[in-house]
Amino acid sequence: MKKVLALVLAAVLIASVAILPGCSGSGDSAKKFAIYSDNAFAPFEFLDKETNEYIGVDMDIMAAVAKDQGFEYEMHNEGFDAAMGAVQSGQADAMIAGMTITDERKETFDFSAPYFDDGQVVVVKPDSDIKKLADLKGKKIACKTSTVSGEYAESIKDKYGFTIDYFEGSDTMYQAVVTGSADACVEDFSVIGWAIESEKVGLKILTEPVNVKGYGFAVKNGQNAELLKMFDDGLANIKKSGEYKKILAKYGY
């Protein structure tokens, strides 16, 4: 009888613990969001060789917003193409990866308010014989897959008569131009500016920025609306507090 009573009391205790507030882990307040990002798009996300951790503007903004809004997340730096695929498949709750907000992307993603504006430029080696867009005829241009920079290059390739090679990361794209396997590349102005100034990549910017638009935090259409609102609210708060300016200043903006 004592044995049966002990088993009953144990069952009641387990049931009581299971229904205590915050113990189930099923509510949104207890959820840890899966956020995906790029892995080679400095200064927005890049690997710090000293700590072996990913740092950058996007990493710092995400951390500041999450702290302000009181939610937890796990960051996955898998590459830009992989991040978009993860959000579309439901593997990721959201992505932040220097992603330009466009009407075409709005068909698949819901975006936050813009948190940074940028445009595309054509980039060459300092001693290149390419002096203007018309000189791109017959040349090979490097672009990053699934990017607005690639879309811009596609939009002008017939007019200027060049071909395009695609790369998964900005770093490998730059290297193609530096080594001569590509004659030029198209990249976001702020990103290539960082590479030239901070990483001493041997390239120069040929053109003025075009198609200047905002970067946005993105979720799949119709999903994670609460997370999207928390990002917008947190972004507004860190801008008001001055934390946003400190983050940009940290990376030279």
* Whole-number Å distance between alpha carbons of 152 and 164: 11
DSSP run (H or E) holding 238: helix 225-241
Buried b (16+ CB within 10 A) or exposed e, 117-142: ebbbbbbbbeebebeeeebbeebbbb
Closest CA to 194 of 38, 46, 37: 46
Tens of pLDDT along 198-209? 899 999 999 999
CB 203 within 8 A of CB 126: yes
Element (H, E) at 117: strand 116-124
Domains of the chain with CATH codes: 32-115+216-250 (3.40.190.10), 118-212 (3.40.190.10)
Q: Can you say how many angstroms the Cα of residue 45 is from the centroid of all Cα atoms in its chain?
A: 7
Peptide bond before residue 209 is cis, with ω within 30 degrees of 0: no
Find the helix or strand (DSSP H, E) in which 215 lies.
strand 210-215
Cα 23 to Cα 25: distance, rounded to the nearest angstrom: 6
103-151 pLDDT, tens per residue?
Answer: 999 999 999 999 999 999 999 999 999 999 999 999 999 999 999 999 9
Share of the chain above pLDDT 90, in %: 85
Residues 205-242 as b/e (b if ≥16 CB within 10 A, e otherwise) read ebbeeeeeebbbbbbbeeebeebbebbbebbeebeeee
pTM above 0.85, yes or no: no
Q: How would residue 31 be classed by pLDDT, with cut points 50, 70 and 90?
A: confident
